[in-house]
């Protein structure tokens, strides 16, 4: 999953520094995830990677069933949908 990709990129960041050419920014371009060069910039402040740096697609529930996105945004319907999925699980 993307955690492994990020971990690999964090390992890579130790050798990459802030140079774009060295980094290549593949992870940023292909997955919308922070690449080694970006991760290096968070390190000095002991900052965690901001959620904004993660592409929107990873912030969404990527296995959200199609049925939900097609429903009419009726709160009752959404609640009963989740209740049904919860009961099934």
Instruction: List interacting residues with Zn ion (CB under 5 A).
Output: 23, 25, 35, 37
Q: What minimum distance in Å lies between the beta carbon of 1 and Zn ion?
A: 20
Q: Where do we find the tokens 């939900």?
A: 68
3-state secondary structure of 13: helix
Q: What minimum distance in Å lies between the beta carbon of 46 and Zn ion?
A: 20
Q: What minimum distance in Å lies between the beta carbon of 48 and Zn ion?
A: 18
The residue (of 49 and 68) whose beta carbon lies closer to Zn ion is 49
Cβ neighbour number for residue 78 with a 10 Å cutoff: 13
The residue (of 22 and 67) whose beta carbon lies closer to Zn ion is 22
CA distance 87 to 89: 6
């Amino acid at each position: 999953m993307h955690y492994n990709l990020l971990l690999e990129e964090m390992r890579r960041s130790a050798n990459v520094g802030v140079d774009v050419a060295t980094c290549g920014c593949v992870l940023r371009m292909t997955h919308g995830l922070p690449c080694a060069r970006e991760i290096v910039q968070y390190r000095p402040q002991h900052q965690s990677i901001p959620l904004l740096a993660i592409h929107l697609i990873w912030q969404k529930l990527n296995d959200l069933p199609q049925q939900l996105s097609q429903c009419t945004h009726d709160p009752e319907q959404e609640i009963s949908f989740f209740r049904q999925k919860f009961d099934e699980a």
